[in-house]
Amino acid sequence: MIVQLRQLDRIHVQAGLRVPVLREIHLDIAEGEFLSIVGPSGSGKTTLLNVLGLMDHDWSGEYWLDGSAVHQAGARQRQALQRSAVGFIFQHYHLLDDLTVAENLELPLSYRDLPSTARRERVQAALARFGLEGKKGLYPAQLSGGQQQLVAVARAVIARPRLLLADEPTGALHSSQGREIMALLTELNREGMTIVQVTHNPEFAALAARTVELRDGVLGAA
Amino acid sequence: MTPFWFELRLAARALLRSPAFALTAVAMLAAGLGACLYMYGAVHAFLLRPMPLPEPERLVHLEYGQSGGFGNIEPTLADFVEFERTASGVDDLAAFYRGTVNFSGDGERPERFDGAYMTASGFAAFGVAPLLGRTYARSDEEPGAERVVVIGFQLWRNRFAGDPGVVGREIRINGRPSTIIGVMPEGFRFPFDDQLWVPVQRHPPSVARAQGVNVDVFGRLARGRSIDEAQAALQAQLTRLNEEYPGQVGGDLALVKPYQEEFVGDQTRRILTVLLVATVLVLLIACANVAHLLLARGIARTRDLAVRNALGASRSRLALGLAAEALLIAALALPIAVIGAQLGGDATMAAVRHGADPPPFWMTEWRLELSFLGVAFALALASGLFAGLLPGLRLARMATAQVMREGGDSGGMRTIGRVLIVAEIAMSVALLVAAGLMVRGVLAMQSFDPGVRIDHILTARLGVFESTHPDDAAVLEFQRRLREELAALPGVRSATLSSALPMGNQGSSTAIAAEGQVIADPARTPLAFDVRVSEDYFRTFEIPLVAGRRFDARDRPDSEPVVIVSRHYAERTWPGEDPIGRTLRLDRADRTEAPVLTVVGVVGDVAQNASAVIDRWAVDRPAVYRPLAQVPTRFVSIALATEGPPEALANALRDTVARVDADTPVYWVTSLRKALDDAMVDHRLVGILLVIFGLFSLALAASGLYAMLAFAVNQRTREIGVRRALGASGQAIVAMVAAQGFRQLAIGMVLGLLLALGFGSALSAFLFEVSGTDPASYAVAVLAFALVALIASVLPARRALAVQPMEALRHA
Ligand SMILES: Nc1ncnc2c1ncn2[C@@H]1O[C@H](COP(=O)(O)OP(=O)(O)OP(=O)(O)O)[C@@H](O)[C@H]1O
Ligand SMILES: [Mg+2]
C-alpha cells in the first residue's frame, strides 16, 4: 500500500465554529492504482487531496505514506517525503507566468538536489515526451488552456513522483482537451504511477480502476 | 461635470476608503516637499531676495584683483578719491569702512555699535532719505570739520525713546563731542547691519597713499549702463592709476559685481546649493515612493480599470483618474509642508542670527512671500504629476491590454517599480554619505585641540580712543589698571589682555624673517600670527612654555624689544639649535625698517585664528607674541581664567571696566567656549540639516523598499503557493524574496556611492580635517543603509513564509 489513512479527521474552524470537513476517513491506495474521488461541491475532495499531498497537516488520525508515518513526522520530514513522493496537478494549471515552458518544467527539479546537466536532460526528455519541444521558449500566456494543462502535467511528473494528485485537472478545459489530458494520465498510470484524481466528470471518473465518493466529509464507495 | 472634477471626486472617495494609504502617502510627500521648501526659503533669503532698497539691482560693488593672483582686494581711500575724480559709468560712487563706534555722553551707559565710516555719497547711492534731520554732506568729511553723526532707527527708538528733538543733540562718539544731525528710517541698516553713520575722514594730503585705510567702494550703475561697461570704465581708471603710481596700487584688475554678492561668499553659495540638491533628492524619493504606492494600488485594481475601459473609458481618461489621486495627495501635503518649512525656517534663522558672524538682517528673516507660495504650489503640482502620471499611464495601458487579451503587461510595471527603487536607494545612500562626512567634520572640529584652555575662560573686548587716552602712556596706564582690577576680582585666577583672542576674528598676520635666515623670494616671506599680549597671557590660556621665559615686568616700553615665538616656528627656523637669544624682524625679508626683536621664549602651538578651526589652517602656523607694553594697542580683548562658570563673572567684568573708565564700553562679553560654539554654528547647522535629510531619505527609501517587497509578496502569493507545492523550502522562498530586493540594492548602492563622490567634492571645502572621499563615512553610510534595507526586506520575506500553499491556491 502506498497510502493508508486511518480514522482521519479534518476540522475547519470558521468564525469560531468547528466545522468537520473530513470525518473518520479510512482509505487504502495500492501502489500503481488509479483512483477517482467524486462528490458534490464542498464535500471535502480538495481537502482530502491536500492531506494526501502533505500540503495540510492540521488533521488527526493516522496517515502512512509509502511506509512512513506522516502523523508522527515533523515539518522537515514531511517536506522531504513530499519532494520525493508527490506530484500535483491543479484545476487552474498554476503555471508561473514569468517563466517559459521549459523554465516551468525545470522549477520542481531546481528544488531538488539535481545537477544542472541532469536537470536539463530531464527537461529535454519531458518536452519530447509531451510534445512540447516547439513551445519550450513560450510563456504560459501564449498557450491554450489545454496546452497549459499539458505543461502542468509534465511539470507534475518531471520529478518522478510515486503519487500523482490531480484536482479536477480537466475542470477548466473543454471536452476534447480534457480527453487528451485523461489519456495522458491513463498512460502514466499504465507505466506504474499511482494517480488520485478528483473529478466531476463521470466519463473521466470511469477511466480509473476504482472510484470513491465523498459526502459531507464521509467517504463511501461510489 | 468635467472629467477632471469627476475623476477628482472619485479619487477623493478612493482615498477616504483607504485612510492608511492616504496618510502614508501624504506624510511622505509632506516630508519631501517640506524639506525642499525649507531649503528653497533659505536659498531665497540668502541668494535671491533683493536688498530692501530702491532699485537694488543697480547697486554695484567695485574691487580689485591681481592678474594671476588674488581677487577681492579692497581699494585704498586714496585710490577711491582718484576714481571719484574721474568717475564714469557709476553714479554716486561711495566708500565706507566699518568699525567700532563708542556712543556716550547722553547720560546713559556707554555703548558700542557697529558703525559705518561712510562717504556722504553713500546715502545717495542707497537712495534712502533720512526720517528726521539731514544726512551729512561732502563738506563734513574734510579734516577739521565739525563732527556729526547720523543714527539709525533702532538706536533712536531704544536709546532716545523715539524723541523727535534728538536732532541737534550733543553726544560723544569715540570720546569726541559730536552732533546728531539725522535719523534714518526703519529698515535702513546699510551698508551691512549698521546703526550709526559717521563721515569718512579724508586723509590730509600728507598721508602716504599706500598707508591709507582700505575701503569698500560701491555705487549705482548709471541708467542704461551694464556691469560690464562699468567694469571697463573702472579698468581704464585702474590702469592709469597703476601707471601713475607703480607698485602702490593693490591690484591691476577691475572687478564690478552686484552689491548683493558682497554678502554671500562662494562657500555659503556652494553649501546652500548642496543642501538644496539634497532636499530635491529627498523630494524625488518621496515622489517615487508615492508613485510606487499608487502603482501597487493600481495593480490591485486592474480588473476595475479593465471594466471601466470595457465601458468606454479611454486610456488617458484612466490615467487621469489615477493622477487625480496623486494630485489630491499633493494638495493635502502642501499646507503641512509649508507650515513645517516655516517652523524650521524660523528656528534656523534664529540660530544663524546668533552665530559668530551673522549675515545682514534682511537675509535672516523668514517671511512667507508670494514667490515662496508660488514655488510651493509649483513643486506640489510637479510632484503630484510625477507621482501620478507615471503609474497612471502605465496602468491604463495595462488595463486596456488586458481587455484585449494580449496577456499581462505586469513585467513593464515591475520594471518601473524597480527603477524607482534603485533611484531611491542611490539618492538615499548619497545623502547618508554627505551627512556622514559632515558629521565627521563637525566632530573633528569639536574635538580639535587648539592648544589653549577653552573652558572657564570669560572674554570681552574694548577699545580706547585718542580723545580720552591721547598717547601710548595713557593707553598703557589704562590697560595696566584694568588688568590689575580684573585680576583682583574674586573667582578670577588670572587676567590678561591681548590684541586678539585665540580662535578669534580680530587677529592679524605679519611677515616674519629671522636674521640670518635665507629666504629666496622675499615676496614670499613666511607669515605669522601677530599677537600682542599682557603679562599672564600664557598662564591664563595655559599655553605651555617650551623654552626661555614668559613676558613680565622686565618688558617695558624702553627695554630691549622682545618676542616669544611658537614651538613649530622655532623648530623649523632654527632646527636643533637654541632659539633663545635669536633675532628676527616682522617684515619682508628684504626690508630693514622694522625693529629687530630678540627671542626670549618659545611656547606651545596655538590655533590663533577662527579660520584655523574652520578652514583647517594648521595649528602649527607660526605665531609671534610681543608685549603690549612695547607695542601699544588701543583695541584689546580681555580674558579671565575663572574658578567657576565664566558667565557668572560677566557683570563683575562690566562693572570693573566702568570703574576704571566710565566712557569706555565693553562688548562681546562671552565665554570662550560659547564664542567657539558660535563660530561653529554654520557648520553644525549644515551637519544637522544633512543628517535630517539623510534620515528622511533613509526612512523613505526603506519604506519604499519594504512596500515594493511586501507588494511583490502579495502579488506572488499564488506563485509562492505553487512553488511550495512543488517542493520549495522556506529558505528558498525567503531567498527568492530577498534576492529580488538585493539586485536593486546592489545597483542602487553603487550608483549612490558615485553620486556621493559628487557631494563629497562639493562639500570638501566645508569639511574640517575630513576628506570628501573619507572611506569611513562611505562605509558607515553603506552599512547603515544595508542594515535598514535588511530589516525592510526581512519583514516581507517573513510574510512570504507565512503563505499557506493550500490557501494561496484555493482561490486562484
Ligand atoms: N480554509 C478553510 N477555512 C474554512 N473552511 C474551509 C477552508 N477550506 C475549506 N473549507 C470548507 O471545507 C469544506 C470542503 O471544502 P473543499 O474545498 O475540500 O471542497 P471540495 O469538495 O473540493 O469542493 P469543490 O468540488 O467545490 O472543489 C467546504 O465546506 C469549505 O467551505
Ligand atoms: Mg475542490
Going by C-alpha positions, the residue among B74, B78, B127 that lies closest to residue B97 is B74
Residues in A 160-219 with any Cβ partner in B closer than 8 A: none
**pLDDT at residue B406, as a whole number:** 39
Instruction: Give the distance, in angstroms, between the CA of residue A132 and the centroid of all CA atoms in the same chain.
Output: 21
Q: How many helices (H) and strands (E) does chain B have?
A: 22, 22
ipTM of the complex: 0.76
Q: Under 8 Å CB-to-CB from B343, ≥6 apart: which residues?
A: none
**Nine cell digits for residue B336:** 503641512
The three-state secondary structure class of B562 is strand
Residue in A closest to B407 by C-alpha: A141
**Cβ A43 under 6 angstroms from ligand 1:** yes
Environment class of B742 (CB within 10 Å of its CB; exposed 0-12, middle 13-18, buried 19+): middle
Which amino acid type is present at position B555? D
Percent of chain A exceeding pLDDT 70 equals 100
Report helix, strand and coil shares of chain A as percent, to nearest 5: 40, 30, 35
Residue pair A12/A21 in contact by the 8 Å Cβ criterion: yes
**pLDDT at residue B206, as a whole number:** 58
**pLDDT at residue B405, as a whole number:** 37
* B586 vs B560: CA distance, rounded Å: 15
**Nine cell digits for residue B657:** 571696566
CATH code, residues A3-62+74-96+143-221: 3.40.50.300
C-alpha distances (whole Å) from B77 to each of B88, B197, B203, B214, B281 are 18, 17, 8, 6, 48
Show the low-confidence residues of chain B (pLDDT under 50): 403-409
Phi, psi (rounded to 5 degrees) for A157: -100, -5
**Cβ A170 under 6 angstroms from ligand 1:** no
Q: Find the A164 Cα to ligand 1 centroid distance in Å.
A: 21
Give the closest-approach CA distance of A111 to chain B in angstroms: 5
Going by C-alpha positions, the residue among B327, B177, B283, B286 that lies closest to residue B663 is B177
Residue pair B352/B358 in contact by the 8 Å Cβ criterion: yes
Q: How many helices (H) and strands (E) does chain A have?
A: 7, 10
**pLDDT at residue B308, as a whole number:** 66
**Cβ A4 under 6 angstroms from ligand 1:** no
Q: What is the pTM of this model?
A: 0.72
State the count of interchain CB pairs (< 8 A) between A and B: 47
Show the low-confidence residues of chain A (pLDDT under 50): none
Instruction: Give the residue carrying C-alpha cell 538536489.
Output: A113
Going by C-alpha positions, the residue among B761, B721, B713 that lies closest to residue B273 is B761
**pLDDT at residue A222, as a whole number:** 74
CB distance B723–A111 less than 8 Å?
yes
Closest partner CB to A141 (pick from B407, B721, B812): B407
Residue pair B586/B597 in contact by the 8 Å Cβ criterion: yes
* Chain A residues whose beta carbon lies within 8 Å of the beta carbon of residue B801: none
* B188 vs B125: CA distance, rounded Å: 13
Is A6 an 8 Å CB contact of chain B? no
* A63 vs B144: CA distance, rounded Å: 118
Helix (H) or strand (E) holding B508: strand B508-511
**Domain boundaries along the sequence of chain B:** 1-58+268-409, 74-250, 419-449+681-812, 465-663
* A205 vs A77: CA distance, rounded Å: 33
CB distance A111–B726 less than 8 Å?
yes
Closest partner CB to B722 (pick from A56, A96, A159): A96
Please name every residue paired with B132 in a beta bridge, in sequence order, or none if there are none.
Answer: B183
DSSP string, B337-395: HHHHHHHHHHHHHHHHHTSSSPPPGGGS-----HHHHHHHHHHHHHHHHHHHHHHHHHH
Residue pair B285/B700 in contact by the 8 Å Cβ criterion: yes
Instruction: Give the residue carrying C-alpha cell 468564525.
Output: A15
* B776 vs B756: CA distance, rounded Å: 13
Residue pair A165/A50 in contact by the 8 Å Cβ criterion: no
pLDDT tens digits for range B100-157: 888 888 888 888 888 899 999 999 999 999 999 999 999 998 888 899 999 999 999 9
Is B1 an 8 Å CB contact of chain A? no
Going by C-alpha positions, the residue among B573, B564, B496 that lies closest to residue B530 is B564
Tally Cβ neighbours within 10 Å of residue B298.
23
